[in-house]
Structure 1
Amino acid sequence: MRFRYAMVCSSNQNRSMEAHFLLKRQGLDVASYGTGSHVKLPGPSAREPNVYDFGTPYKQMFDELRRKDPELYKRNGILQMLKRNLNVKLAPQRWQDNGGDGVFDVVMTFEEKVFDSVLEDLNNREQPLMRTILVMNLEVKDNHEEAAIGGRLALELCQEIEGNETWEDTIDDIVAGFEKQHRRKLVYSISFY
């Protein structure tokens, strides 16, 4: 059976896009989203982030930051991250705005507040299909190294789910096996469309 996956993080598009990139490369049906009000990328200081609207093309962000300070954004990995992102899709999308294109079997988040936000959004939507959706959180620190590790773990977890006819019957065993093997806690919940 083929499942449809959504990778969701907060507002900087690093963790979800790394997972999206890896799952897409393995031929899985995947999309990625942020939950914030804007896309925020590190700037010259913590008080000066680069803020973009969802829907702003990654190429535009890349070109703008390369013009502003190519050394800074090369050194902190933002240009490389944006280059990866623009090879995956045109622009960042916001989870709450996914509407009709967003019927997924599994949603993977990378921090607890995003997990809570996705569940709240799903619970506030109408559920005309009454179709189950698995929402999982794999806690991943927001840096390039951890995003790479988290992406590989998300891929492994999704491949394990993909290998089962119905995740509803095996999710407890999948989670227990994953936690034991990787010594990382997973939180999950079931919601509906």
Structure 2
Amino acid sequence: MKFRFAMVCSSNQNRSMEAHSILKRQGFDVSSYGTGAHVKLPGPSLREPNVYEFGTPYKQMFDDLHRKDPELYKRNGILPMLKRNSTVKLAPQRWQDNAADGSFDVVFTFEEKVFDMVIEDLHGRDQTLMKSVLVINLEVKDNHEEAAIGGRLTLDLCQEIEATESWEESIDDIVIAFEKQHRRKLLYSISFY
């Protein structure tokens, strides 16, 4: 069965875009989003992040940071990340503004506070379709190495979910098997559109 998947992280576009990239290459119907007010990328110091509006093309961010300090942003992995992101989609999108994208079958988050935000957002929407949506949190540290591992683990979970007739009947078994195999805890909840 074919499902629609969404990948959601905070505001820096690393973890959700890594998972989006991996799933897209495997032929999944996938989208990705951030939940922050802006896209925030590391800057020269913690107090000086680079802040962009959602909808700013990844190529524009890449060009801006390349102009500012190409060595710094190459060394910290931001330029390669933006290059990857630009091959996946044009620009970052904000989860809270995705109503026009329709509904998803499964939404993945990569940190608990984002999981809570997605659940709260879904509960605050008009639930006119009465279509169930599975929201899963796979905790992933926000660095390039962990994002790559998290992306592969997300792919494994998506493949397991797609192999079922009905995730509603199989999700408990899928989660238990995943947690045992990978020694990672998952949070999950069912909401509605």
Shift of 1:102: 3.4
Find the counterpart in structure 2 of residue 161 from structure 1.
161
The reply to whether residue 113 of structure 1 matches residue 106 of structure 2 is no
The reply to whether residue 32 of structure 1 matches residue 32 of structure 2 is yes
Find the counterpart in structure 1 of residue 67 from structure 2.
67
Shift of 1:100: 2.0
Shift of 1:66: 0.4
- Number of corresponding residues: 193
Find the counterpart in structure 2 of residue 124 from structure 1.
124
The reply to whether residue 87 of structure 1 matches residue 87 of structure 2 is yes
**Which amino acid in the other structure matches residue 190 of structure 1?**
I
Identity of aligned residues (%): 80
* Inter-partner Cα distance in structure 2 for 1:47 and 1:103: 37
Q: Where in structure 1 do 4 or more consecutive aligned residues deviate above 4 Å?
A: none
Please identify, of 97-106 and 80-89, the stretch whose mean Cα deviation from structure 2 is larger: 97-106
Shift of 1:48: 0.3
Deviations 1:145-186 (A, max 9, x none): 000000000011011001101100000000000000000000
Find the counterpart in structure 2 of residue 182 from structure 1.
182
Aligned partner of residue 126 in structure 2, secondary structure: coil
* Inter-partner Cα distance in structure 1 for 2:76 and 2:24: 25
Deviations 1:23-60 (A, max 9, x none): 00000000000000000000000000000000000000
Q: TM-score, normalised by structure 1?
A: 0.99
Find the counterpart in structure 2 of residue 97 from structure 1.
97
Please, which runs of 5 or more residues in structure 2 have no aligned partner? none
Aligned partner of residue 173 in structure 2, secondary structure: helix
* Inter-partner Cα distance in structure 1 for 2:25 and 2:156: 13
* Inter-partner Cα distance in structure 1 for 2:102 and 2:89: 16
**Which amino acid in the other structure matches residue 163 of structure 1?**
A
Find the counterpart in structure 1 of residue 12 from structure 2.
12
Find the counterpart in structure 2 of residue 191 from structure 1.
191
* Inter-partner Cα distance in structure 1 for 2:153 and 2:79: 24
* Inter-partner Cα distance in structure 1 for 2:58 and 2:98: 18
Please identify, of 99-108 and 114-123, the stretch whose mean Cα deviation from structure 2 is larger: 99-108
**Which amino acid in the other structure matches residue 64 of structure 1?**
D
